Amino acid sequence: MPVRVVETTSPSHSSGQDLSSAQPSPPSCSLLCAGRSFCGTQNVSSLQKDEAWKVNVRIQGCDIEHGFLCGTMEALNVPLADTPVVTFWEGEIVDAKNHTFFTGKWEATPEDDIRHWSKFPSFTPLLSQIEDDGGKSLDLSNYPYIFMRWKEQYFVNVGADCGLTIAGFYYVCFSCTDGSISGFYYDPNSSPFQKLELKCMNAKPGGFSFSSYELV
Amino acid sequence: MPATAAVAPPPTAPEQLAARLSSGDSDESLLPTLREIKNQIIGNRTKKLLYLRLRAVPKIVALLSSSSSPSPVIIQAAAAVGSFACGVEEGVRAVLDAGAVPHLTVLLSHPDAKVVDSAARSLRIIFQSKLAPKYDFLLEENKTFLLSLLNSTNENITELAASIVAHSCEKPTEQTSLCDAGVVQKLVSLLGGSSNQRDTSLDAISAIVKNNPEVATKFVSISNGKAFNSLMGLMQDRYPRTRLLACVCLISIEQAFPVYFQEMQIKTKLILILLDLIEEAGRVGDEAPFVLKGLIGESEELHRQALSVTAAERLCGYLRKGKAVLEARRLEGILLVLAELGSKLEQSRAQLIELQVPSLIIDLLKHDCAQVRVAACHVIKNISRSLKHLCAGRFGSESIVMPLVQLLCDSSTSVQTAALDAICNVAVNLTTKKSVLLQSGGVSILCQLARSMHSEVRLKSVRALRNLMFLLDRKDKDLILTELTVSTLTILISDPDPLVQEQALALAGNFVDGSGVSTKFIFSEDISIIDAVSRQLKGECSPGMCIQGMFFLANMAAENESQKDAVMDCILPTSLDLSISHPNSFLVTFLQSKERLLRLSTLWCLINLVNPDQRNSFRVSALQGAGIISQLKTMVNDPCLDCKLRVRMVLERCLENRE
């Protein structure tokens, strides 16, 4: 996916800090920006046992205009691993322009899509408008939730033979109000509806802080 | 019987020959002198310069205008003048200063055809130089004269006319004037002539249509499209130079009249032909990559198309085969095309990385030619826009970073600034490994460059430091600021260049992001970063600067009580403000801004200030008194959802505090 960058001769725009306010905006939120951290759990329970991994997520880059973001996911207390396992993921923001609610790949059918999106209460008001075309004509710019798909691309600190899989992807719902995230992992070969629940973290004791970079 | 072989007489010394020119003669006795001078200077830069120093040119030019000069003398003199002007800038200058152009122009009407030929050839050489005067096509008499040249049956004269057009035609008014006068049709007719006529005509047509949609439209309509088809045919000409010029011409038309080129087929053909031409010897191969870069330009569609016809693989192939032997100009061109391909699309960057382009070009960062070093930096800068690969640490290795750091001390400023741009991107270390930049001495150099006299260098180095500071460990942040010094940072925050100010504010914001900020950096006795930020925010500053300044204050306000208090002191009106009837904080103005991010950054600062803790009620009252709470109440239905949510967050916290 293209990353929005600036030419050196033009005024600066930062990842996660969009100076443009003239055009109708894609869905965006200042809590969903490069540098932001989230922590919580992923329920990896199966029929055999209940299990949850602690998870930390950090957003590394965010290009709202192209509906793209990326980051890392760190899973702690993974039984098969001696250390926390870190993966790099790329995300698609459902904005009706770059991406719709229909995945169209990763072995997810429209039925799978609707089944998973419907697990989010915030999706229910939108259902009737997306059944035909995935929501191409929806205006989500003022909706207080941002829907995304996150797909892990590679392991950062362990080998691909670590016994873990990153074949699936997450359906994700982000709350613009408080930055909380819930998600469901989809992989036809894994336990269904493994739930991801994250809260926005503050690196500082007294509130939210922001960091930024600018690619040229 | 064997006889002694005839020995050629030794060449006469230039000083002697030049002295003979001063004899005052203009008759045929000068012929041997002129011939010998001409023969000595052809292809010999040293001899040309020597004769220039001997002031031979004015004397030779004088022969062109002397009424007593017989034709053979004029022919040789004209040829010598042309030779002086060929490929040597000083020679062109000398010829122009001596007034050769008007004399040669008059000779175009000479009764002796050989004189006309010689004059025309020399003028053509002169008009190939950028130093030649521009011909004013808007003067009617000039246009008429040009048309008479184009109508000539003499090939040298028609080539000259086309050269004059190619050299001089720039402005839209000139383009339109020539087009209306029928010059384009004349040039099209030359496309069927000799190879030289075709080439000069192609050059001239490119100049007339360039960036002019009206003229381009007329061109494609000539003879119901036959002229355009001729151009298409010339793309397959057996001469590489003609193929290149045909491509240049078609690209000029495409850029002026893109609708005519909607089919991708022609553009694909152009890409393929230009890729082939890069393999040609000489100037054609050197210039072809620049033409290709001009074609694919900033078009994502053409980038995709170029990738689909394996442009990246072929360009890498050229580098692998011959980067040690390729001319600098060609290397530069190939690198610039690769940089262009990596500039926009993530798929392109991924492909270039897969082709090992960064490793392939690392040694070109040390090339003798500055333009090659610059171009290599551009490749790295553009490819490193890939967040995916930045996260994978692909650009953080020593093998890439160290040569770039060395280029920060390059003797050429353009190389320094190109290296700064590349470092700016690779400085964004998104891996868990410590940045090589921190260990390489690069920080020291960046901090020095941040004090440069050149604002562009300051801007780029501060931006690089900002990127380096992103999400860094506290210890490393402190090290960087110790190296830069608080004093320098406060000076940069007040830099004369607003763009530098903005980057410095962002750098400060990144510094105070994260926990454990040492107060020694923020509050010192003499210099205070927060005071510098405060001064900027209260002055006339751009929205970009205000946004960064507010994020800095927001980050400060997220730390602890004393820093929240410091932020309050900054944002509350001072007694001076009150005395000049400004009872409200400048934050009120920011909250009223049309810039969404400015409202947002201000709101986050307020959210952090009223974060539930000990001194909240005092802060809420103070904000009330400064008009901020009232302003917030008018924003509960802000058109931006993010702002609306933050306004509610602040007001809810203020309300909780009251309860």
pLDDT for the residue A21: 36
B512/A209 CB distance under 8 A = yes
Q: Which of B421, B640, B645 sits opposite A144 (nearest CB)?
A: B645
Binned at pLDDT 50, 70 and 90, residue A5 comes out as very low
- Within 10 angstroms of residue A193's Cβ, the number of other Cβ atoms is 14
**How far from chain centre, in Å, is Cα B212?**
22
Residue B301 parent element (H or E): helix B300-308
Rg (CA), chain A: 17
Q: Which of A61, A209, A214 sits opposite B513 (nearest CB)?
A: A209
Distance between CA atoms of B75 and B78, rounded to whole angstroms? 5
B646/A61 CB distance under 8 A = no
B429 contact residues in A (CB cutoff 8 A) = none
Interacting residues of B53 by C-beta distance below 8 A, sequence separation 6+: none
Distance from CA of B169 to the nearest CA of A (A): 29
pLDDT for the residue A16: 38
Distance from CA of B45 to the nearest CA of A (A): 40
pLDDT for the residue A7: 29
B557/A206 CB distance under 8 A = yes
A216/B613 CB distance under 8 A = no
Binned at pLDDT 50, 70 and 90, residue B518 comes out as confident
pLDDT for the residue B458: 97
pLDDT tops 80 at residue B503 = yes
Interacting residues of B214 by C-beta distance below 8 A, sequence separation 6+: B176, B179
Please report the number of interchain residue pairs, chain A to chain B, with beta-carbon separation below 8 angstroms.
167
Distance from CA of A168 to the nearest CA of B (A): 18
Distance between CA atoms of B590 and B547, rounded to whole angstroms? 9
Binned at pLDDT 50, 70 and 90, residue A157 comes out as confident
Kindly state the percentage of chain B with pLDDT values over 90: 68
Report which residue type is found at B42: I
Distance from CA of A48 to the nearest CA of B (A): 35
Q: Mean pLDDT over residues B57-72, rounded?
A: 88
Among chain B residues, CA nearest to A4: B344
Residue environment code for B238-254, b if the CB has 16+ CB neighbours within 10 A, otherwise e: eebbbbbbbbbbbbbbb
**Residues counted in chain A:** 216
A12 touches chain B (CB under 8 A): yes
> What tokens does B632 get?
């917030």
Query: B602 phi and psi, to 5 degrees?
Result: -65, -40
- Whole-angstrom CA distances from B637 to B281, B644, B651 are 68, 6, 13
Query: B523 pairs with which residues across the strands?
Result: B528
pLDDT for the residue A24: 43
Distance from CA of B513 to the nearest CA of A (A): 6
A6 touches chain B (CB under 8 A): no
Q: Which of A3, A30, A210 sits opposite B346 (nearest CB)?
A: A3
pLDDT for the residue B582: 55
**How far from chain centre, in Å, is Cα B339?**
12
Selected residue of B421, B426, B550, B641 to mutate for chain A interface (largest A Cβ count, 10 A) = B641
Selected residue of B642, B647, B648 to mutate for chain A interface (largest A Cβ count, 10 A) = B642
B510 contact residues in A (CB cutoff 8 A) = 211-213
Q: Which of residues 170-209 of A touch B (CB under 8 A)?
A: 176-177, 202-209
A3 contact residues in B (CB cutoff 8 A) = 346, 385-387
B469 contact residues in A (CB cutoff 8 A) = 211
A211/B600 CB distance under 8 A = no
Distance between CA atoms of B71 and A82, rounded to whole angstroms? 96
Among chain A residues, CA nearest to B506: A212
Task: Give percent helix, percent strand, percent coil of chain A, each to the nearest 5.
Answer: 10, 35, 55
Question: Strand (E) positions, B454-502?
Answer: none
Binned at pLDDT 50, 70 and 90, residue A19 comes out as very low
Report which residue type is found at B182: G
pLDDT tops 70 at residue B70 = yes
More confident residue, B518 or B490: B490
Report which residue type is found at B4: T
Q: Give the model confidence (pLDDT) of B140-188 as tens digits.
A: 888 999 999 999 998 999 999 999 999 999 999 999 999 999 999 999 9
Q: Which of residues 21-80 of A touch B (CB under 8 A)?
A: 21, 25, 28-30, 34-35, 60-61, 70, 72
Q: Are B236 and B250 in contact (CB under 8 A)?
A: no
The packing angle between helices B498-512 and B543-557, to 10°, is 20
pLDDT tops 50 at residue A166 = yes
Q: How far apart are the first and last CA of chain A?
A: 17
Residue B99, class by beta-carbon neighbours within 10 Å (0-12 exposed, 13-18 middle, 19+ buried)? middle
A210 touches chain B (CB under 8 A): yes
Q: Mean pLDDT over residues B562-587, rounded?
A: 75
Scanning the structure block, which residue is given the tokens 């470092």?
Answer: B423
pLDDT for the residue B525: 63
> What tokens does A70 get?
């990326």
Q: Are A41 and A80 in contact (CB under 8 A)?
A: no
Distance between CA atoms of A106 and B510, rounded to whole angstroms? 37
Query: A38 pairs with which residues across the strands?
Result: A57, A200
Distance from CA of A63 to the nearest CA of B (A): 10
Residue A184 parent element (H or E): strand A181-186
Selected residue of A65, A152, A177, A215 to mutate for chain B interface (largest B Cβ count, 10 A) = A215
Residue B551: closest CA among A23, A215, A35: A35
A208/B392 CB distance under 8 A = no
Distance from CA of A56 to the nearest CA of B (A): 14
